[in-house]
Structure 1
Amino acid sequence: MITFCLLVSPLPFTIRKKIFRFLSESPIVAKVAYGLKISFIFVGILFLDALQRMFRVTAETEMAKTGGQSMHDVRTETNFAARKFYAQRNTYLTVILDLIHTQEEYAKLKKVVGAGAKGDQSKQIEELKKKLAASEAKDRDFETLKKQAAQQAAEIDRLVSRHNEATGAVSDKKFD
C-alpha cells in the first residue's frame, strides 16, 4: 500500500524522476531487474485482464440497471462498485510506470533537440553572416566596376571627340 500511495501521489516530476533513477541505477535493484522484466510480461497479461474485467463489470452493471432487474440488495450494489473500482485501479497501476518512462524520455529528447537547435542555429547564423559579407563585397566590386566603366566610356568619348576635331573627321558615334 505504501508503494502504491507513493506511486499514485502527485509528486513533482523531478522528485519522481529521482526516485525512479535511484531504483534503476541501484546495484541491488539491478539484481532484481531480471525478475522484474519477466514480471512485466505477467503485468501485461494482468492489464489485459483488468481491462476485460472493467468492461465486463460495466456491462453487467448497465445490464442490471436496464434489464429490469433492480438491485435491491445493498451488498450487490457494493459488490459491483468494488469490482469496478478494483478493475479501474489495476488498469491505472499498470499504466503509471509507462507514463513516467515516457515523460523522462520526452525530457531527454527536449534537451537534445534544444541543444542541437542552438548549435545548428549558431552555425547557420555564422554561415549566413559570411554569405552576407561576400554578397556585400560583390556588390561593392560591381558598383566600383560600373563607375570605372562609366569613367572609361566618358574618357573614350572625350578622346574620340578630340581626335575628330584634330583630324577634321566628323563622327556622331559614341561609345557606351
Structure 2
Amino acid sequence: MTLYYSLVFLLLVFEMVVFMGLIVPLPYAVKRKLFAFISESPLIAKLQYGLKITFIFILILFIDSVNRVYRVQLEMAAYSKDTTGVGAAALGTERMEVQARKFYSQRNMYLCGFTLFLSLILNRTYIMILDVLRLEDRVKLLEGDKKAGGKDAARVAEAGSVGEIGRLRKELEAKDRDIETLKKQTEGLQREYHNLGDKVSGSDSAPKKDR
C-alpha cells in the first residue's frame, strides 16, 4: 500500500473512532459541554477546514481508483477471449498480474469510498446530535428549568416557558380584576353624578316656585 493510501486508511480509522465517540451515551451536562467546546473551539474549526481539503484529495483518489477498476475490467475481458492457442500459458501469467492489479484497484476504491461515505455520516450525525441537544434545552426550558441552556435558551425562556406562561396568565387575571373594579367605580361615579345633577336641578327650580 502506497503512502497516501496508508494515510487514507489512518483517516478511516480516525473517523471510526470519532463516530464511536459520538454515539457513546454520556450524561446530558457532559455531552452539552463537549459539543459546545467542539462548536466554539478555533482549533477544531481549523481541523475541520483541513479535513475538508483532505476529503477533496480523497475524492480525486476515489475517481482515479474507479477509473483503474474499469480499465482492469476491460483488460480481463480481453484476456478471457485469448485463453486458447499456443500462448495460453503466457496469457495465464499476464492474467494473474491483471487480477492482482484488479484486486489492488478495488481495494483502493473501497477504501476511498468508505472514507468519504463515513465522513458524510459523521457530519450528519454531528448535526443531528446538536439538534437533539437544542431540543432538550428547549424542553427543559418549557418545563421551567431556567438553568438549562445558554444565551439561546434564555431567549426561549422569555418566549415560551411554562412558568412564564403561568405568570402571564396571573397578570392577565389581575388586569381583568382591575378592569372590573374600574367599571364598578365608573358606574358608581355615574350614579353619583346623576344624583348630584338631579339635586342641582331641584335646588334651582325651588326658588322659582316661591316667587
Under a length normalisation based on structure 1, what TM-score does the superposition of the two structures give? 0.51
Deviations 1:53-98 (A, max 9, x none): 213443x479x5xxxx99342249x748646533431223423653
**Runs of 5+ unmatched residues, structure 1:** 8-15, 22-39, 170-176
Name the aligned partner's letter for residue 49 of structure 1: L
Work out whether residues 62 and 108 of structure 2, in 8 Å CA contact, stay in contact via their aligned partners in 1.
Answer: yes
In structure 2, C-alpha distance between the alignment counterparts of 1:135 and 1:42, rounded to whole Å: 59
Deviations 1:111-161 (A, max 9, x none): 421221123333332223222321221122122212211221122112221
Name the aligned partner's letter for residue 150 of structure 1: E
> Deviation at 1:100?
6.0
Work out whether residues 59 and 112 of structure 2, in 8 Å CA contact, stay in contact via their aligned partners in 1.
Answer: yes
Name the aligned partner's letter for residue 77 of structure 2: M
For 2:77, what is the secondary structure of its paired residue?
Answer: coil
Mapped pair 1:127 → 2:164: yes
Q: 1:112 corresponds to which residue?
A: 133
In structure 2, C-alpha distance between the alignment counterparts of 1:164 and 1:46, rounded to whole Å: 102
2:20 to 17, 20, 23: 17
Q: 2:113 corresponds to which residue?
A: 92
Name the aligned partner's letter for residue 185 of structure 2: Q
Mapped pair 1:138 → 2:175: yes
1:157 to 194, 199, 207: 194
**Runs of 5+ unmatched residues, structure 2:** 1-8, 13-18, 25-50, 81-94, 145-156, 207-211
Work out whether residues 47 and 90 of structure 1, in 8 Å CA contact, stay in contact via their aligned partners in 2.
Answer: no
Q: 1:34 corresponds to which residue?
A: none
Q: Which moved more, 1:90-99 or 1:133-142?
A: 90-99
Q: Which moved more, 1:44-53 or 1:134-143?
A: 44-53
2:61 to 49, 53, 67: 49
For 1:71, what is the secondary structure of its paired residue?
Answer: helix
In structure 2, C-alpha distance between the alignment counterparts of 1:146 and 1:134, rounded to whole Å: 18
Name the aligned partner's letter for residue 52 of structure 1: D
Q: 1:172 corresponds to which residue?
A: none
In structure 2, C-alpha distance between the alignment counterparts of 1:82 and 1:141, rounded to whole Å: 86
Under a length normalisation based on structure 2, what TM-score does the superposition of the two structures give? 0.44
Deviations 1:11-39 (A, max 9, x none): xxxxx727x97xxxxxxxxxxxxxxxxxx
For 1:168, what is the secondary structure of its paired residue?
Answer: helix
Q: Percent identity?
A: 21
In structure 2, C-alpha distance between the alignment counterparts of 1:99 and 1:162, rounded to whole Å: 90
How many residues align? The count is 134
